[in-house]
Structure 1
Amino acid sequence: MGIVINQSIKNTIITYLGFGIGAINVLFLFTQFLSDEYFGLITYILSTANVMMPILAFGVHNTIIKFYSSYKTRLTQNSFLVLMLFLPLAIIIPLGIIGFLAFDTISQWFIGNNDIVEDYVWLIFITAVSFSYFEVFYAWARVQLQSVFGNFMKEVFHRVCTAILLLCLYANIISVNQLIYGITGIYVLRLIIMKLYAFSLRFPSFKLTKLNNLSDVIKYTSLIIIAGSVANIILEIDKFMLNRYVAIENVAYYGVAIYIASVISVPSRSMHQIVSPLTAKFLNDNNKFELKVLYQKSSLNLFIISGFIFLLIVLNINELYKLINENYVEGLLIVLVISVSKLIDGLLGNNNAILFNSDYYRMVLLLGVLLAILTITLNIIFIPIYGINGAAFATFIAVFLYNSAKIWFVNYKFKMLPFSVNTSKVLMLIIVSLGVFYFWDFSFHPIINIALKSILIGVFYGAIVYVLNFSDEITAILNKMLKR
């Protein structure tokens, strides 16, 4: 776990830096400098591009992680990477041609009930392509066990650039239209920089050799598109479908609430960058003992950290909304519902990496398709009844069922669960903390209230985790911090 902890800590710091900058953008700059309607439009463009990303990437970013460590010579590794470099074009080029020829028809479908989307539909495709190839080059770097720079580009770079564009908008240097085009341009630039970095680690050579397991690679990458699409559908389809039922400014309210709750998943995202290739290696080497150790430790550590962030958000959410544009308070219930969903995600540890890199991914894909259909169906039912809250209810139910099924399936096939005795102790600590601090409020400015309450929660939660030694890894980190 040494390299995991090392790079995970760096990735967590970088990711939280990115989320901090993103929080300033989402909670203050977008809400103050941009109308609700245009903020909703930008949220819709990015969410729809995220839904399309796994399809355009052809599942290559997952395939690189799974198969790279199975090649033992430099020549076969190179041949594999070159194949992965060009494979997404098999999807991007045909879809681009179809989109160009049937642009008017496709545009009408994307517009939904909001005509403001019409002039920007083509940006969705450009952004989706940028997302797709960025993930390919990021995976290229990760299999070299270099995830930190890519994580910086993924979490920080575009948010800093977006903040600069928003400040330019406020200073009347650019228009709203230029802001929207500029945001797409940022993602294109990010892709180019990530490509240059990936090639600096391992430059592709066109001296190729035949891959013995080519059929397995193609089969996997074709099927893993479904897995990636399922995951993104569950995460992003709600914003896309809201555009078809409610005014687009509601997408902005929903997006802000989701962003607040998504902070809980930052540690999971950070650890996944380095845990995923290690999981693939253990599977390729049939090292079930180390795989189980990694599974349980990643679950426990993520649950402890995610639980702490969950408490900070839920126990401070009323004060936080006092700092935001009053229109956005409609998303308060969404934050609470999705926060619970993200906390449950933390319990899974490296579950996704085990499933996507194992020989059982086909069954998981089938299960994922069924749950994606369930997600869409629940959104169709709940959004007309409950509005933006209905989208949150649909997401929670789908994610809970999906996660439960994945835990069951890993246990059924690998005979291991992510839980330990300490998992129940952490759950009890979270419940006790909610009871102790939920009704404990101060009468100062919201920023002071949030700071005071967060310090108290941190001391209480951290002291118990440390004294009772819930996790050897976290205790070791705290020991180093206390010595310094």
Structure 2
Amino acid sequence: MGVIKHQSIRSTLLIYIGFAIGAVNIVFLFPRFFSDTQFALTRLLPEIAIILVPICTLSTVPAISRFFPYYASHLKDKENDMLTLALGATIIGFSLFVLGTLFFKDAIIKANIEKSPLFITYFYLLYPNVFLFSVFGVFESYSGSRHLTVFPNFLKELVLRLLTTVLIVLHYLSWINFDTFLWLFSLLYGVLLLALLVYLRRHKFLYFNFRISRVTRRLLPKMATYSLSLLGASLFTLLANNLAPLILTSSKGLQDVAYLTIAQYMSQLIMVPQRSISAIGLPVLAQAWKDKDKDKIEEVYVKSSLLQLTYALFVFLIIWSNIDSFFQLLPPNYSVGKYVVLCLGISKVIDMGTGLNSQVLSTSRLWRYDLYSSVVLLALSLPLNYYLINHFGLIGTGYATLLSMLVFNTIRYIFIWVKFGLQPFTMSSVKAIGVALVAYFGCIWIPLAIHPFVDIVIRGILFLAIFVTLVLAFRVSGDITSTIYSAVNKIRRRQ
């Protein structure tokens, strides 16, 4: 767990710095320098690309993490053909996507031309978005299997947002028009991909072997079955998590997507540690299942749950205690997303608190149940989003997400407990919830200050002080305590 803790801390810090830059882009720059529909389009294109990545990679991204330990233990680096296979599958998958869009072109236009004509105008930009997202995903997974996760996170979370800021400023200065902005915006992942290739090359991990290895001949049937099954699981999960913008686009228009984007961005702040912990924990779990090391699996499962729950409660409650001040920093029409933030935030806390349940399932012998539970999630999300959005509007997206994620994670939690005898919650989980609630009620009594930014700072500092003090006093997490004391000691030594 030490590798997971140290790399996840560094990755999490990078991601939060990136989110701070992203907040400037999304909260201050996009709403002021672009129309609501233009802003929504810059969110919709990458979100659709993310949904389509499992199809275009034929779900080889999770297969790399799942089977890489077998390749690494039986082949030299130059003999390893796994990366070549994954890239070949991606080219095939992307070709199928292109053919599919050409076949369904008329239906896509008919569904969106009335409410979202701008999306139809720039539909062709999906192609570079989808291709670059997919190829980067393959190399990111390969890098993670080599336990090199910090640099890909640095590129994706920090560099990407800085480059986006540069493009926004260039557009604001009228140096580039909106067409050029969208083209450059859609090609940003190409820059990240080149940087990651150089990084892997310098570490002497970038090899392409076009000969089929003995490991591939032995594992290919199992890998194909695994990848195609997880293709459904990944696609269903991504569809369920990203249905709302698509339904809003066709039923309400792009304007509501812009408002939803702000609420989703705030809720995604809660998920930051999960992204780094899961990326690092996945190869560790895959190796532990290969070695039949149940103690290691339980350790990762329990500790990841506690770390994620503590982080999630901290970020969610610090956001919610300042929610009115946050929306005062935005144009008034964006305030309709306030209670969407509440519903999405609670759903993220639930998802984070149940630990790496998806990773535990997908790397185990019962990995097919990852697909089955994802089918349940989509089966819940599609009708809930459609019905609740049409009846309640924007807030319906929050209701649908909260209900579907609660059922989804409960099913996975019970299944892992029954089949493997593993469950992530301990008395420390209860302590984390208690500490977070005390910190929240300890700071919400502060009246609004002269300026919302000042209010956020004051409440944030008070919440942080109460939360950290109680986490240390009640020894909520040994990993968090050791990290805090280690940081304090480093600061003292520098002084």
Q: CA deviation at 1:364?
A: 2.5
Partner of 1:170: 172
User: Which aligned pairs between 1:315-330 and structure 2 lie closer than 5 A?
Assistant: 315-330=321-336
Matched residues in 2 for 1:68 and 1:445: separation? 53
1:455-478 deviation line (CA, Å, top 9, x unaligned): 111010100101111111111111
Partner of 1:89: 91
Matched residues in 2 for 1:80 and 1:180: separation? 34
Partner of 1:205: 209
Counterpart selection for 1:128 from 130, 151, 166: 130
Residue 74 of structure 1 aligns with an amino acid whose one-letter code is L
Distance 1:335-1:98 versus aligned 2 partners, 3 A rule: closer
Tell me the SS of whatever aligns to 1:281: helix
**Does structure 1 residue 240 correspond to structure 2 residue 242?**
no
Where in structure 2 are there 5+ consecutive unaligned residues? none
User: Is the 2:197–2:206 contact (alpha carbons within 8 Å) kept by the matching residues of 1?
Assistant: no
Residue 229 of structure 1 aligns with an amino acid whose one-letter code is L
Partner of 2:42: 42
1:137-171 deviation line (CA, Å, top 9, x unaligned): 00111111111111111211221111101011111
Q: CA deviation at 1:73?
A: 2.0
Matched residues in 2 for 1:197 and 1:347: separation? 33
Partner of 2:235: 229
**Does structure 1 residue 369 correspond to structure 2 residue 375?**
yes
Tell me the SS of whatever aligns to 1:88: helix
Partner of 2:184: 182
Q: CA deviation at 1:321?
A: 0.8
RMSD: 1.7
Partner of 1:117: 119
Matched residues in 1 for 2:113 and 2:288: separation? 46
Residue 301 of structure 1 aligns with an amino acid whose one-letter code is L
Tell me the SS of whatever aligns to 2:148: coil
Partner of 2:74: 73
User: Which aligned pairs between 1:234-273 and structure 2 lie closer than 5 A?
Assistant: 234-273=240-279
Counterpart selection for 2:455 from 449, 455, 458: 449
Greater alpha carbon shift after TM alignment, 211-220 vs 40-49: 40-49
Matched residues in 2 for 1:404 and 1:122: separation? 39
User: Is the 1:11–1:148 contact (alpha carbons within 8 Å) kept by the matching residues of 2?
Assistant: yes
User: Which aligned pairs between 1:246-325 and structure 2 lie closer than 5 A?
Assistant: 246-325=252-331
User: Is the 1:18–1:155 contact (alpha carbons within 8 Å) kept by the matching residues of 2?
Assistant: yes
Greater alpha carbon shift after TM alignment, 139-148 vs 228-237: 228-237
User: Is the 1:15–1:152 contact (alpha carbons within 8 Å) kept by the matching residues of 2?
Assistant: yes
Partner of 1:146: 148
Distance 1:245-1:105 versus aligned 2 partners, 3 A rule: closer
TM-score, length-normalised on structure 2? 0.94
Residue 293 of structure 2 aligns with an amino acid whose one-letter code is N
Partner of 2:24: 24
Q: Which has the higher contact order (CA 8 A, sep 6+)?
A: 1
Matched residues in 1 for 2:33 and 2:278: separation? 35
Greater alpha carbon shift after TM alignment, 69-78 vs 271-280: 69-78
1:113-160 deviation line (CA, Å, top 9, x unaligned): 211211111212321221111110001111111111111112112211
**Does structure 1 residue 425 correspond to structure 2 residue 425?**
no
Partner of 2:417: 411
User: Is the 1:75–1:208 contact (alpha carbons within 8 Å) kept by the matching residues of 2?
Assistant: no
TM-score, length-normalised on structure 1? 0.96
Between the two proteins, the alignment pairs up a number of residues equal to 484
Partner of 2:56: 56
User: Which aligned pairs between 1:330-409 and structure 2 lie closer than 5 A?
Assistant: 330-409=336-415
Matched residues in 1 for 2:143 and 2:345: separation? 31
1:391-415 deviation line (CA, Å, top 9, x unaligned): 1111111111111111111111110
Distance 1:458-1:217 versus aligned 2 partners, 3 A rule: same
Matched residues in 2 for 1:103 and 1:192: separation? 32
Counterpart selection for 2:474 from 468, 473, 484: 468
Matched residues in 1 for 2:370 and 2:198: separation? 34
Matched residues in 2 for 1:78 and 1:102: separation? 38
User: Is the 2:21–2:161 contact (alpha carbons within 8 Å) kept by the matching residues of 1?
Assistant: yes
User: Is the 2:305–2:425 contact (alpha carbons within 8 Å) kept by the matching residues of 1?
Assistant: yes
User: Is the 1:107–1:121 contact (alpha carbons within 8 Å) kept by the matching residues of 2?
Assistant: no
Residue 331 of structure 1 aligns with an amino acid whose one-letter code is G
Greater alpha carbon shift after TM alignment, 50-59 vs 7-16: 50-59
Tell me the SS of whatever aligns to 2:253: coil
Greater alpha carbon shift after TM alignment, 355-364 vs 184-193: 184-193
User: Is the 2:318–2:440 contact (alpha carbons within 8 Å) kept by the matching residues of 1?
Assistant: no
Tell me the SS of whatever aligns to 1:58: coil
Matched residues in 2 for 1:463 and 1:98: separation? 55
Residue 124 of structure 2 aligns with an amino acid whose one-letter code is W
Matched residues in 2 for 1:362 and 1:258: separation? 29
Matched residues in 2 for 1:115 and 1:206: separation? 45
Matched residues in 1 for 2:99 and 2:198: separation? 27
Residue 213 of structure 2 aligns with an amino acid whose one-letter code is T
Q: CA deviation at 1:315?
A: 0.3
User: Is the 1:47–1:240 contact (alpha carbons within 8 Å) kept by the matching residues of 2?
Assistant: no
Distance 1:245-1:439 versus aligned 2 partners, 3 A rule: farther
User: Is the 2:230–2:370 contact (alpha carbons within 8 Å) kept by the matching residues of 1?
Assistant: no
Matched residues in 2 for 1:390 and 1:44: separation? 19
Distance 1:388-1:166 versus aligned 2 partners, 3 A rule: same
User: Is the 2:440–2:463 contact (alpha carbons within 8 Å) kept by the matching residues of 1?
Assistant: no
Distance 1:187-1:202 versus aligned 2 partners, 3 A rule: closer
Distance 1:81-1:306 versus aligned 2 partners, 3 A rule: same
Distance 1:439-1:247 versus aligned 2 partners, 3 A rule: farther
Q: CA deviation at 1:101?
A: 5.7
Residue 356 of structure 2 aligns with an amino acid whose one-letter code is N
Matched residues in 1 for 2:167 and 2:284: separation? 38
Q: CA deviation at 1:32?
A: 0.9
Distance 1:383-1:276 versus aligned 2 partners, 3 A rule: same
Distance 1:292-1:111 versus aligned 2 partners, 3 A rule: farther
